[in-house]
């Protein structure tokens, strides 16, 4: 082992670096994907059965219209809740939405009235099938993977929107 030390010193110096002045290794920069998957606004926790979900709140027209458009992914156990001022039939489409999503529509009491899967860029309307005040979007398959079904309750939903 002691014979290798002089050889390593010579090789290091041959590259123009002395062992004492060689640059220290630096941490790899954060991947762009990690930033893309981070929430883009404040989040609130929701409780669905035995599991928790962090969601961004879209409670005005501009936020609801943009939704999850132009994103490349969601952080694990994250999504978006769309909040409306009243219960009525709701419809969503996937214009400019790159990621496959599942959507749960809920009434004013937080009871899930329907769950659907949606494909990226699909401009067909996905209907709530019953009047809803809330819609929660997550990665496709999240609800089924966590045992969340129609008739279940979502706890922690924000107050109804003012617009």
Number of Cβ within a 10 Å radius of residue 6: 9
pLDDT tens per residue across span 50-60: 999 999 999 99
pLDDT tens per residue across span 34-75: 445 888 878 999 999 899 999 999 999 999 999 999 999 999
Question: Which sequence spans correspond to the domains of the chain?
Answer: 29-155
Residue 40: what pLDDT? Answer: 84
CATH of segment(s) 29-155? 2.60.120.1140
Give the residue with greater pLDDT, 25 vs 89: 89
pLDDT exceeds 70 at position 156: yes
Verdict on whether the full-model pTM lies above 0.85: no
pLDDT exceeds 80 at position 24: no
């Amino acid at each position: 082992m002691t014979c290798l030390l002089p050889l390593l010193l010579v090789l290091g110096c041959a590259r123009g670096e002395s062992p004492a002045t060689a640059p220290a290794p630096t941490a790899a920069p954060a991947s762009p994907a990690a930033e893309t998957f981070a929430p883009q606004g404040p989040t609130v926790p929701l409780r669905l059965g035995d599991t928790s979900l962090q969601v961004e709140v879209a409670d005005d027209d501009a936020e609801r219209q943009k939704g999850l458009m132009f994103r490349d992914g969601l952080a694990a156990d994250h999504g978006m809740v769309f909040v409306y001022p009243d219960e009525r039939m709701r419809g969503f489409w996937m214009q400019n939405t790159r990621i496959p999503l599942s959507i749960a529509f809920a009434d004013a009491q937080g009871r899930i009235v329907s769950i659907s899967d949606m494909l990226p860029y699909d401009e067909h309307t996905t209907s709530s099938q019953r009047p809803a005040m809330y819609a929660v979007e997550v990665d496709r398959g999240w609800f089924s993977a966590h045992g969340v079904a129609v008739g279940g309750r979502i706890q922690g939903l924000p107050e109804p929107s003012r617009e």
